[in-house]
């Protein structure tokens, strides 16, 4: 009997302790064989980095098509960025124009009440030093008192002799004002000079004519020391002014110092206090000016002041925004359709490639992701170029027009991001179509 063999026991099973070299080496041989056989890769072998590399590599292989595809997005994003840039720049120019005129003027008048006959009667008076009080306020650049003088039957003429045979001509308006009226109105000297505070303090009989009033009186130069006669009193004409931006009515008027009017024609009170302010100071000056004139009764004056920002300027800016936004949206829609069309053609051309990748283990989601990434990259590229072109267009036009270019950096950044979003939306349908392609049918085609 073999020393290492055990015979069957009662159960009929045979056990052995024989050392078999082949059996003992079987596990080692199995491990070696498994090491030589390549491991089967996981189905999800393509990472996001692989998708990004494949997408960008395909984009670069067709530069001509890339240019034509990107052009629509470039035009759309460029139009949108330029829209906001031109709207903001135009708003700045509009605000500057309004700041130069009514948006920088505050007018204060005595409060009035209606009489039984329906006429309006002033219930208070402006103090004679109202201009000096207003100049103490923050935000005030200049101030002046003014009032129209009622001559009754008096005349204003450039000749000392009254010719009864001459046709009756209505005299030009006579305005009594302090020396700051010309600065407040923004008037320019055409010839001569304006009267100053010294003339006003002394009550000198001097006059300054508006351009149309001078033409009406037949005076076009002051070096010959011309005079006009107001109700028979001679006034020396020392200057002629033009272009009063804030008070165009002064072009037809004869302006004399307010102290002279008080002495010669018994001017009882000024009609208004006109204040020129810095832009945006209207509400503040309007509140403080009435208190400065009469701290005990600020409601005795009617104050007309611009708001902090011109409503008309805001309205114009809104209209400009709407027009440009509509144009930009149309161009952007055309760019998105172009991306979708080109992406669809790319899917059709690359059907065999898609089938091969599906056969190698790429999933439908990965194929879809590849085309979505291509569309997003194209859209982002178009957005970056379009935003840059839009900003450069705003700067170039502003420099040519001598404007101050205003471009919000967030608008340019949003334009680039919007280009990527357009690419994402435009590439969605072609990407889903590519994901549904079966490997067998794709390889057959």
Whether the predicted pLDDT of 128 surpasses 80: yes
Mean pLDDT of the region 161-173: 66
Identify whether the C-beta of residue 379 lies closer than 8 Å to the C-beta of residue 423: yes
Residue 24 in domain: no
pLDDT number for residue 165: 56
More confidently predicted of 273 and 359: 273
Residue 103 in domain: no
Same domain, 175 and 229: yes
Alpha-carbon dihedral 121, 122, 123, 127, rounded to 10 degrees: -160
pLDDT number for residue 98: 59
Residue 348 in domain: yes
Same domain, 243 and 330: no
Same domain, 232 and 87: no
Helix residue spans in 101-207 (DSSP H) = 130-135, 181-185, 197-202
The domain boundary residue, chosen from 296, 322, 340: 296
Same domain, 316 and 369: yes
Same domain, 292 and 425: no
Please state, in angstroms and rounded to a whole number, the distance separating the CA atoms of residues 286 and 282.
Answer: 6
Please state, in angstroms and rounded to a whole number, the distance separating the CA atoms of residues 64 and 365.
Answer: 28
Same domain, 210 and 290: yes
Tell me the Ramachandran region of residue 438: left when phi exceeds 0, alpha when psi lies from -120 to 50, beta otherwise. Answer: beta
Same domain, 316 and 287: no
Total structural domains within the chain: 2
Same domain, 359 and 420: yes
Residue 145: φ, ψ to 5°:
-100, 145
Residue 304 in domain: no
Q: Which residue has the tokens 């006009």?
A: 228
pLDDT number for residue 266: 86
Domain span including residue 260: 125-296
Whether the predicted pLDDT of 2 surpasses 50: no
Residue 287 in domain: yes
The domain boundary residue, chosen from 296, 328, 345: 296
pLDDT number for residue 95: 63
Same domain, 274 and 380: no
Residue 11 in domain: no
Whether the predicted pLDDT of 23 surpasses 60: no
More confidently predicted of 410 and 94: 410
Same domain, 347 and 421: yes
Same domain, 289 and 354: no
The domain boundary residue, chosen from 296, 320, 339: 296
Q: Where are the beta strands (DSSP E) in 134-290?
A: 140-149, 156-157, 174-177, 188-192, 206-210, 227-230, 233-242, 254-257, 272-277
Query: Is the pTM for the entire model greater than 0.75?
Result: no
Residue 306 in domain: no
Mean pLDDT of the region 420-428: 79
Residue 334 in domain: yes
pLDDT number for residue 292: 92
Q: What is the pLDDT of residues 249-307, one digit of tens each?
A: 899 999 999 999 999 988 988 999 999 988 778 888 888 999 999 998 888 899 988 76
Q: What is the pLDDT of residues 298-313, one digit of tens each?
A: 888 999 887 655 555 5
Return the top range by mean pLDDT from 251-260, 318-327, 367-376, 410-419: 251-260
- Token readout for 259 is 């102290």
Same domain, 278 and 368: no
Alpha-carbon dihedral 325, 326, 327, 328, rounded to 10 degrees: 50
Return the top range by mean pLDDT from 15-24, 70-79, 112-121, 317-326: 70-79
- Token readout for 187 is 């008037």
Whether the predicted pLDDT of 421 surpasses 80: yes
Q: How confident is the model at residue 214 (pLDDT cuts 50, 70, 90)?
A: very high
More confidently predicted of 146 and 30: 146
Q: How confident is the model at residue 440 (pLDDT cuts 50, 70, 90)?
A: low
Whether the predicted pLDDT of 74 surpasses 60: yes
């Amino acid at each position: 009997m073999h020393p290492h063999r055990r015979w069957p026991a009662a159960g009929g099973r045979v056990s052995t302790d024989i050392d078999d070299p082949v059996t003992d080496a079987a596990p080692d041989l199995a491990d070696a064989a498994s090491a030589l056989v390549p491991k089967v890769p996981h189905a999800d072998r393509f990472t996001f980095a692989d998708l990004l590399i494949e997408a960008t590599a395909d984009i670069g292989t067709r530069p001509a098509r890339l240019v034509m595809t990107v052009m629509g997005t470039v035009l759309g994003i460029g139009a949108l960025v330029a829209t906001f840039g031109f709207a903001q720049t135009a708003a700045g120019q509009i605000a500057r124009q309004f700041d130069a005129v009514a948006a920088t003027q505050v007018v204060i008048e005595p409060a009035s009440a209606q009489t039984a006959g329906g006429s309006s009667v002033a219930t208070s008076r402006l103090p004679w030093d109202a201009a000096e009080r207003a100049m103490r306020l923050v935000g005030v650049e200049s101030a002046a008192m003014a009032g129209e003088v009622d001559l009754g039957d008096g005349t204003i003429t450039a000749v000392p002799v009254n010719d009864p045979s001459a046709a009756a001509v209505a005299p030009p308006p006579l305005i009594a004002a302090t020396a700051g009226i010309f600065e407040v109105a923004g008037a320019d000297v055409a010839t001569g000079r304006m009267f100053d505070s010294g003339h006003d303090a002394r009550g000198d009989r001097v006059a300054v004519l508006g351009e149309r009033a001078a033409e009406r009186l037949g005076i076009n130069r002051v070096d010959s020391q011309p005079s006009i006669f107001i109700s028979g009193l001679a006034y020396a004409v020392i200057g002629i002014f033009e272009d009063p931006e804030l008070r165009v009515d002064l072009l037809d008027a004869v302006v004399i110092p307010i102290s002279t009017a008080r002495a010669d024609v018994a001017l009882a009170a000024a009609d208004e206090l006109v204040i020129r302010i810095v832009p945006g100071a209207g509400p503040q000056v309007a509140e403080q000016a009435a208190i400065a004139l009469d701290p005990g009764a600020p409601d005795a004056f009617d104050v007309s002041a611009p708001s902090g920002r011109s409503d008309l300027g805001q309205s114009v800016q809104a209209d400009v925004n709407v027009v440009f936004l509509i144009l930009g949206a149309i161009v952007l829609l055309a760019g998105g359709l172009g991306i979708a069309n080109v992406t669809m053609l790319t899917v059709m051309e690359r059907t065999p490639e898609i089938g091969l990748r599906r056969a190698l283990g790429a999933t439908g989601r990965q194929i879809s992701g590849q085309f979505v990434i291509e569309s997003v990259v194209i859209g982002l590229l178009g957005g970056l170029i379009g935003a840059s072109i839009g900003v450069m267009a705003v700067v170039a036009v502003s420099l040519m027009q001598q404007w101050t270019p205003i471009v919000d950096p967030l608008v340019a950044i949003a334009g680039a991001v919007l280009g990527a979003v357009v690419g994402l939306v435009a590439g969605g349908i072609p990407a889903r179509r590519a994901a549904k392609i079966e490997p067998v049918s794709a390889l057959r085609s």
